[in-house]
Structure 1
Amino acid sequence: MNNPVRGGVSGEVAGKAPVVVVAGGGTAGHIEPALALADAVMRLRPDAKVIALGTQRGLENKLVPARGYPLELIPPVPMPRKPTPELLKMPLKVRDSVKRTREILDRVGADVVVGFGGYVALPAYLAARGRTPIVVHEANEKPGLANRVGARFAVRVAVAVPGTPLAKAEVIGIPLRRSITSLDRAALRAEAREFFGLDPDAPTLLVFGGSQGAVSINGAVSGAAKEFADAGVGVLHAHGPKNTLVVQEFPGRPAYVPVPYLERMDLAYAAADAVLCRSGAMTVAEVSAVGLPAVFVPLPYGNGEQAVNARPAVDAGAGLMVDDADLTPAKVAELVIPLVSDADRVAKMSAAAVGLGHREADETLAKIVLEAAGA
């Protein structure tokens, strides 16, 4: 591919437009960094074309088109955690998914494949191997199977944190949306409180448990609704689209506002003084970037990566960590409400949070990707 030559008009680029294929389907933790990268690529090379890979059942079917990028669907390759009859079907499923993915890469003329892990990334890596340059991004300190495989074939490997056990790893942080990294919470506070129907002045806690919600978090926080009301603390609680949450109203007290899903995370962050949430890598990066003190409740499953994700923020004084099994309405009343109510403590923890992370990770990764594509 020829190197691009900038023309006389600002932003005009001569030469072949790069075609970037991103593979980050399944959960928001995989999709959002992929979309943040896509946005950064388009800022740096407005003539580029970015295509996302996904599956029929993934959250990408909603998120990717909403951000304006084309989505190509491939058969999923879920990896069983334990020996099961399903394991015997894996070679056939992998072969079919790789074949479909290779057809897509050839049809769109992919110049580079960028994977973010998960069951969409594995067939993408195998389809691109030896044919199209691969760039891997790993958000967790403990890489999953897909990225461990992909890193073996990649021309560049980017990671979020030091100590990630992948060869050739370059620490760049996690790509985040510019609406998050450039967020002025103070300037948006009044608009955000009005948008959600929250008290304009009361200390306010934001609660969410990932894109699907978390039953344990929902029960513990809503069970302390009276204590929040008595303390004069408002709550914005995203309980998940498949869950229901009925909370008693307390007239004359700050509102407890339950919502199924947060379409405007920027306004949710701006409305809050502190957050109680899971500690996926993307979540930790975002709440740190916007300077929100956090009470992290790591997911009690998997390989323990969520506790690992939260540890730097906790050690820096920007957050607290509570085991999922210990999160009860009494624990919320004892630990969380005093935190949100203490303006001085909130300010100190907020300052500590802002010092964490890599705000330019999106453009750093975009430059790596464009270089790998020869653009």
Structure 2
Amino acid sequence: MSKSILLAGGGTAGHVNPLLAVAEAVREYHADARISVLGTREGLEATLVPERGFDLRYVPRVPMPRRPTPQWFTLPGKLQAAVKAASDAIKEIDADVVVGFGGYVSTPAYLAARKLNVPIVVQEQNARPGIANKLGARWASAVTTTFESTLLDQAHVTGLPLRPEISRLIAARAAQPSAIRTAAAHELGLDPSRPVLVVTGGSLGALRVNMTMTQVAAQLLSTGIQVLHLTGKGKSAQVIEDLKSVPAEDRTDYHVMEYLTRMDLAYAVADLVVCRSGAGTVCELAALGIPAVFVPLPIGNGEQKLNAEPMVSVHSALIVDDAQFTEQWATTHIVPLVTDGARLHDMAQRAQQVGKPQATLDVLKVIESVAKWA
């Protein structure tokens, strides 16, 4: 009997990366399965899904207003068109199951699947679920969540499906930790024998993180560490300008890049990471056992602060509000921490207590059960 699955999600890396992780797992363990992805032309999926060799079907982007606006009047027509596109995709591939990862694409996918009596699996990445997945969970045959604190009924707590490159890094570090660190350090132009602090605000960067870390750059470098600072696209010039206050001979240990496609290389050398606390970042760091300083995004519905809680609660990470992440705070907390090998080792061990490296396979098992794949 042929197998077929439709995966729906997109817009941001937070939705696309776990979707691709599951798609890769389906392809690996069910080579005969037909895999299609429902996405928009505007989101990251428009590039990333075809790059990974998966079939991408487009649906119109339908933002769901959180409060009454003039958009409400155009919503029914746009949603109807999106549901039709989703229905056409489900029928064309004769999907056994629809798996939604949230975002604009998932709402029409859930509505179409319900109408066609196709079973639904919901995967919620964040501690606080979004509108689409709250809706889909009402009709789902199964719900998988990243965090135990996520309030969705009858949820299986699986953890977040991890990108294949992260799963490979976990296995490689377990087998040859020193060799993996050395190889990654050489590729990045770093010394594997010295501590490395990785700073990242994600692909778009984080102005507060960039500003504060450059303010303490001289103090950090005086301890003998190396810094790999990923500024975000279009934000490196300001960081480089701000670093001119650091003596030129010291700046050679402060490495500035806008973006790193191979984030697994940064993780392979990181002794400590300063970053936002999107679900993907938190789960990857926990699974890899990397200590962190989380500076949650100060906008949205507060999910980033909740995402960080599992690592913070076991003392494998520090957390500070964006507005409180100042030069003084970083001087007091980060500068001494990054050279405290014993404490970082303890934090790394604690991170692994909450990490879920098998999350992708656990989500796949739920899908297999719902789809009735033997």
TM over 0.5: yes
Secondary structure of the 1:136 match is strand
Deviates more, 1:347-356 or 1:126-135: 126-135
Identify the match of residue 316 of structure 1 among 314, 330, 333. Answer: 314
1:234 aligns to 2:212 (yes or no): no
CA distance in structure 1 between the partners assigned to 2:235 and 2:92 by the alignment: 40
Structure 2 residue identity aligned to 1:24: G
2:40 to 48, 52, 55: 55
CA contact (8 A) 1:20 1:49 kept: yes
Once the 2 structures are TM-superposed, how far is the Cα of residue 354 of structure 1 from its aligned partner? 1.2
Cα distance in 2 for residues equivalent to 1:296 and 1:264: 21
CA separation in 1, counterparts of 2:40 and 2:203?
Answer: 17
Q: Check 1:353–1:254 CA distance in 2 against 1; reply closer, same or farther (3 A cut).
A: farther
How has the CA–CA distance of structure 1 residues 71 and 260 changed in structure 2, closer, same or farther, with 3 Å as cutoff? Answer: farther
Q: In structure 1, what is the equivalent of residue 61 of structure 2?
A: 76
Instruction: Work out whether residues 230 and 253 of structure 1, in 8 Å CA contact, stay in contact via their aligned partners in 2.
Output: no
| Alpha-carbon separation, structure 2, partners of 1:125 and 1:146 | 8
Cα shift readout 1:194-233 (whole Å, capped 9, x = no counterpart): 2122233321111112232212111111232222222222
5 Å-filtered alignment, 1:85-124, equals 85-124=70-109
User: CA shift at 1:97, angstroms?
Assistant: 1.2
Match for residue 328 of structure 1? 326
SS at match of 1:341: coil
Contact 1:233 1:254 in 2 (8 A): no
Shift of 1:175: 1.0
Farther off after superposition, 336-345 or 79-88: 79-88
Are residue 20 (structure 1) and residue 5 (structure 2) matched? yes
Cα contact 1:280–1:309 (8 A) shared by 2: yes
The CA RMSD over aligned residues, in Å, is 1.8
Task: Report what 1:4 is aligned to.
Answer: none
Asked if structure 1 preserves the Cα contact closer than 8 Å seen for 2:125 and 2:160, the reply is yes
Q: Which runs of 5+ in 2 are unaligned?
A: none
- Where does the alignment leave 5 or more consecutive residues of structure 1 unmatched? 1-14
What is the Cα deviation at residue 145 of structure 1? Answer: 0.6
- Counterpart contact for 2:100–2:106, Cα < 8 Å: yes
1:329-368 alignment to 2 at 5 Å? 329-368=327-366
Hey, what's the Cα distance between the residues in 2 that align with 1:228 and 1:355?
29
8 Å CA contact 2:221, 2:250 repeated in 1: no
Q: Which structure features the higher share of helix residues?
A: 2
Residue 162 (structure 1) aligns with:
148
Distance in 2, matches of 1:20 and 1:50, equals 5
The aligned runs of 1:242-261 (5 Å cut-off) are 242-244=234-236, 245-246=239-240, 247-248=243-244, 250-251=248-249, 255-261=253-259
Percentage of matched positions with identical amino acids: 46
Residue 201 of structure 1 pairs with residue 193 of structure 2 = yes
TM-score, normalised to structure 1's length?
A: 0.91
Q: Give the stretch that moved more between structures: 298-307 or 186-195.
A: 186-195
Contact 1:207–1:275 (Cα < 8 Å) also in 2: yes
Q: Is the contact made by 1:199 and 1:254 (CA closer than 8 Å) also made in structure 2?
A: no
Read off the aligned partner of 2:214 and give its amino acid letter: S
Shift of residue 182, structure 1, vs aligned partner: 4.1
Match of 1:5 in 2: none
Q: Is the 8 A contact 2:147 2:159 kept in 1?
A: yes
Q: What does 1:269-284 align with in structure 2 at a 5 Å threshold? A: 269-284=267-282
Instruction: Please give the alpha-carbon distance, in whole angstroms, between the structure 2 residues aligned to 1:222 and 1:80.
Output: 38
Counterpart residue number, 2:158: 172
* Segments of 4+ moved more than 4 angstroms: none
Alpha-carbon distance between aligned partners in 1 of 2:293 and 2:35, rounded to the nearest angstrom:
36
Write the letter of the residue equivalent to 1:35.
L
Residue 31 of structure 2: which of 40, 46, 55 is its match?
A: 46
Following the alignment from structure 1 to structure 2, what is the Cα–Cα distance between the partners of residues 172 and 206?
28
Contact 1:313 1:353 (8 Å CA) reproduced: yes
- Deviations, residues 120-173 of structure 1 (Å, cap 9, x unaligned): 111111121132211001122221110010011111111122242222211111
The answer as to 2:134 corresponding to 1:142 is no
Q: Is the CA contact 1:275–1:294 (under 8 Å) kept in the aligned structure 2?
A: yes
Task: Report the Cα distance in structure 2 between the residues aligned to 1:67 and 1:314, rounded to whole angstroms.
Answer: 34
* Kept after mapping to 1: 8 A contact 2:21/2:161: yes
- With 159-168 and 123-132 compared, the bigger mean Cα shift is at 159-168
Q: How many residues align?
A: 360
